[in-house]
Chains A and B, each alone.
Chain A
């Protein structure tokens, strides 16, 4: 060995790993630590991008828990409007690890939500998931009854899952000053009333977020020592920030912090996997091709590309069934093993890069039997953009 880089695979170098890669070839970004199999009971939660993970896994035949089910004949459009089928229970988007932790503790009777019911125009909303009943409910009592029932479903999901999938979405949140209760949306947007004496803006730090996740992980592992985690960072920029910074600067802080937390968790724990959907979508290599005209919303093609990469790494059958056009040109080759041990520095590269991989993928075009991740099938995620719209200039 002439130097520590001499035996590294092509993927370790920017020139071969990125510069020479076709623009829409996502490359060999993902090498799972552990297999994710169809028999694992999967719980999904997180920011809106996490909906794609759950939907893709469910469609591919993975055992994604749905503890508040509706018959299949209820269309997704109707079910999703009321928070059904988005996640393993009807909690809506959970943008922060603090809220995930809070939900976990609430399920066990160890957390009490301050101001649990918000009102708007004579209708009543669950402050922890105001979007799941867009028309609100008739009374505060009804909101409490629904939440009690919902918490049973969430608790069952926490208790039963073998894999917890969580997408970290935001560092910014609104909390109750006195108790620290965190809310998924700003009071006064979907419902409730904003009172600066009661609510405070919070921008979580790296230390706070990783501490919350460690606490959450430890609590979950006490119940199931074999439990595994899959974390992702949402690639969706902030629609607005209340931090006082320019929204682009605030987004950079938010994404860098969340991505760092994911990276630190990945390195710290063997049972925490990181899936680089953030990198697939935001890579300089694809020149913003996976963002819509507003440069913020992720395009269906981008989602398809990321989720194809995920399936290809975890399920050979699913990968083989996907036609390359499902994820755009230059889709990742499908012959990867279901899972591989973490590669150590210096191991030989097994991944083709650049045009070779693109050609290989294109050669599989005619053989595609069934598309599991088709860009046309990608549904809009349900995002509470209203969370921050109220603060946008």
Chain B
């Protein structure tokens, strides 16, 4: 019996696509549809109470953006009730938040690098709680009976970021492992409470320093064009990462 899977995602869907290219043939029972948009478009797409997702009247998308969405995904509105499984991939609207925060702030017991701001644990917890609430899918996504909805966590930056020195500033990962784990645990608990299944980043793709292992970042490609990302890109993962995430997804939806 064929299982209809709709993958809604951002540029991080590239890894999933190239991963599926490698293993999809082994899973003929999966009928996969992609609804993929760059982040600036993704944040304008919304879901109705009747679970129709896409560019609604209030989306504010330009004609050009609508056309691009149609070209990428075969439409501008998608009835998610027709799917058996919906995957949200890389839909976190502010994935760089923690790195920005830690670029300005140390945290008691977790990170002490002499940043301008020092956060107590209660303050950090409050900020993390607020961040979790901000990235949680809105009410119409919550407590579905069907289709099965899985929130696939956005991958952490690659450890290559430590060598790239973005913005001419070397990055120090002190505390990243514990902090990103805390954020992941908190998001998972919030999603579960909202009736949304959470798929954390596979543990074996994470380096000891808390960042994604470099091997899952090198050679990453863009979703639509297939062109490689820049060598300095430390955000997007490759097909090998996609394969690894698909293994976890397939185990969940079997």
**Does A pair with B?**
yes
- Which residues does A use to contact B, with CB under 8 Å? 67-71, 73-75, 78, 81-82, 84, 133-138, 142, 145-146, 149-150, 153
Asked if A67 and B116 make an inter-chain contact with CB atoms under 8 angstroms apart, the answer reads: yes
- The contact sample of 13 A-B pairs, CB cut-off 8 A, is A68-B116, A69-B117, A71-B101, A73-B97, A82-B120, A82-B126, A84-B117, A133-B122, A137-B120, A137-B122, A138-B121, A146-B118, A153-B116
Q: Given the complex, which residues of A lie within 8 Å of B121, measured CB to CB?
A: 138
Q: Given the complex, which residues of A lie within 8 Å of B100, measured CB to CB?
A: 71, 73
Q: CB of B127 within 8 A of chain A?
A: yes
User: A68-B116, A70-B117, A73-B100 are known contacts. Are A135 and B105 too (CB-CB below 8 A)?
Assistant: no
Choose from B94, B104, B134 the contact partner of A70 (Cβ within 8 Å).
Answer: B104
Would you give the shortest CB distance from A128 to chain B, in whole angstroms?
16
Q: CB of B40 within 8 A of chain A?
A: no
Choose from A67, A70, A73, A150 the contact partner of B105 (Cβ within 8 Å).
Answer: A70
Q: Chain B interface residue count: which class?
A: 10 to 19
- B94-112 with Cβ < 8 A to chain A: 94, 97, 100-101, 104-105, 108
Q: CB of B130 within 8 A of chain A?
A: yes
Q: CB of B71 within 8 A of chain A?
A: no
- Which residues does B use to contact A, with CB under 8 Å? 94, 97, 100-101, 104-105, 108, 116-118, 120-123, 126-127, 130, 134
Minimal Cβ-Cβ distance residue in A for B99: A71
Asked if A82 and B101 make an inter-chain contact with CB atoms under 8 angstroms apart, the answer reads: no
A84 to B117 CA separation, bound complex (whole angstroms): 10
Choose from A67, A69, A78, A146 the contact partner of B126 (Cβ within 8 Å).
Answer: A78
Would you give the shortest CB distance from B171 to chain A, in whole angstroms?
16
Would you give the shortest CB distance from B124 to chain A, in whole angstroms?
10
Q: Given the complex, which residues of A lie within 8 Å of B126, measured CB to CB?
A: 78, 81-82
Asked if A135 and B116 make an inter-chain contact with CB atoms under 8 angstroms apart, the answer reads: no
Choose from A78, A138, A149 the contact partner of B118 (Cβ within 8 Å).
Answer: A149
A295 to B123 CA separation, bound complex (whole angstroms): 33
- Known pairs A133-B122, A138-B121; list 9 more (Cβ under 8 Å): A70-B117, A71-B97, A73-B100, A75-B130, A78-B126, A133-B120, A136-B122, A145-B118, A146-B120
